[in-house]
Amino acid sequence: ADNIGKKFNEYYTSEKNLLGLVDPSFNNILPNIQHIDLLTANPGNNIVTFVFGTTEAITFSVELTNLISKKTLNNVVGVLPGKTKPNEFVIFSGHYDHLGVGSPEEGAKHTSTDSIYNGANDDAAGTTAVIMLAKYFKKQNNNERTIIFTTFVAEEIGGYGAKYFSQQLAPEKVIAMFNIEMIGTESKWGKNSAYITGYDKSNMGQILQTNLTGTNFTFYSDPYPEQQLFYRSDNATLAKLGVPAHTISTSKMDNEPTYHTVDDEFETLDIDNMTQIIKSIAVSSSSIISGKDTPTRVNTTELK
Ligand SMILES: [Zn+2]
């Protein structure tokens, strides 16, 4: 029960009709989830209802009316074919969706002057990184392995874009995945640093750090293991198929005031630091792009 986010997601994405009673001690997560009912990925099949503040089920009568409108959403993908190893893929990714627009009807958190969830850090920052890396590697024009640049849709409602993407290619062909999430603020160690989720799940982090020897940039292992970030972002789907797929982030998960608020605005980003992070990702990936290094696979039997 101490990992409410993960449980909530499991139930929310379930295909059964469920009635969940949530202990009052979790009432503080209400503002984070109130928008979710309007953002269902597979509407119309089942109903998942959460009741907050009740610990005992006596009798419940739940009446629901759903207004369903379907939208087709797309991942955005660009490919630079590899010169000598075209069937070995290296992926750079981010997600371009966020939480949308808050309104009193939805109950989503907003202020009277601002209802737009810009998502500048989460994850326009990662999307920017993917675009810059695509420009850079296109200019370099020397990638031995194929590079796939992608920005996913529907991350925030359960990683649906990444799930679809992972079904379009053979996971054994994917050598490494750099998923980039929230790199617009300073990490807990300050400038010129970022962390890698699931650092110990493959040796990819060590390869990246070795390639940064002599620079002033450091990749650390994820300092928020209790948050299960390795399983929460778009790297998770491919990681579960054995791909060394990690997320690179600077987000201070215990102290990031704009996280999932309408204040996640461009002005809050440290663009100079972000530029250094993107450059460092490029440098750190060089031996993987060239085919010199191949990260170890993720041992899927050890995953949750
Ligand atoms: Zn995100």
Q: Are 208 and 219 in contact (CB under 8 A)?
A: yes
- 22-74: per-residue pLDDT in tens? 888 887 777 666 655 555 556 667 777 888 877 787 787 878 777 777 888 99
- The reply to whether 98 and 11 lie within a common domain is no
CA of 182 to the centre of ligand 1 (A): 6
Q: How many Cβ atoms sit within 10 Å of the Cβ of residue 253?
A: 16
* Strands 145-152 and 85-95, bridge-based pairing: parallel
- Report pLDDT for 42: 61
- Report pLDDT for 200: 95
Dihedral of the alpha carbons of 160, 207, 277, 128, in degrees to the nearest 10 = -30
Q: Are 219 and 194 in contact (CB under 8 A)?
A: yes
* Count of structural domains, the chain: 2
CA of 141 to the centre of ligand 1 (A): 30
CA proximity to 201, closest of 181, 182, 176, 164: 176
Domain that holds residue 113: 76-302
Write down the ipTM of this complex: 0.92
Q: How many Cβ atoms sit within 10 Å of the Cβ of residue 94?
A: 31
CA of 119 to the centre of ligand 1 (A): 8
Does a structural domain hold residue 252? yes
- The reply to whether 45 and 114 lie within a common domain is no
Q: Angle formed by the axes of helices 125-140 and 271-284, to 10°? A: 50
- The reply to whether 24 and 136 lie within a common domain is no
Does a structural domain hold residue 57? no
CA of 63 to the centre of ligand 1 (A): 33
Distance, CA of 85 to CA of 11 (rounded, Å): 42
CA of 56 to the centre of ligand 1 (A): 34
- The reply to whether 47 and 80 lie within a common domain is no
Write down the H helix ranges in 122-203. Answer: 125-140, 160-166
- Report pLDDT for 137: 98
CA of 110 to the centre of ligand 1 (A): 19
CA of 250 to the centre of ligand 1 (A): 12
Does a structural domain hold residue 61? no
Does a structural domain hold residue 232? yes
Distance, CA of 136 to CA of 296 (rounded, Å): 26
Which CATH number do you get for residue 204?
A: 3.40.630.10
Does a structural domain hold residue 65? no
- The reply to whether 44 and 93 lie within a common domain is no
- The reply to whether 91 and 141 lie within a common domain is yes
Instruction: Give 190's DSSP letter.
Output: B
Instruction: Give 123's DSSP letter.
Output: I
Q: Are 134 and 146 in contact (CB under 8 A)?
A: no
Does a structural domain hold residue 219? yes
- The reply to whether 43 and 179 lie within a common domain is no
- The reply to whether 101 and 174 lie within a common domain is yes
CA of 124 to the centre of ligand 1 (A): 9
Does a structural domain hold residue 71? no
- The reply to whether 11 and 118 lie within a common domain is no
Does a structural domain hold residue 58? no
- The reply to whether 207 and 106 lie within a common domain is yes
Q: How many Cβ atoms sit within 10 Å of the Cβ of residue 235?
A: 31
- Report pLDDT for 1: 45
SS3 state of residue 98: coil
- The reply to whether 8 and 99 lie within a common domain is no
- The reply to whether 94 and 238 lie within a common domain is yes
- 181-190: per-residue pLDDT in tens? 999 999 999 9
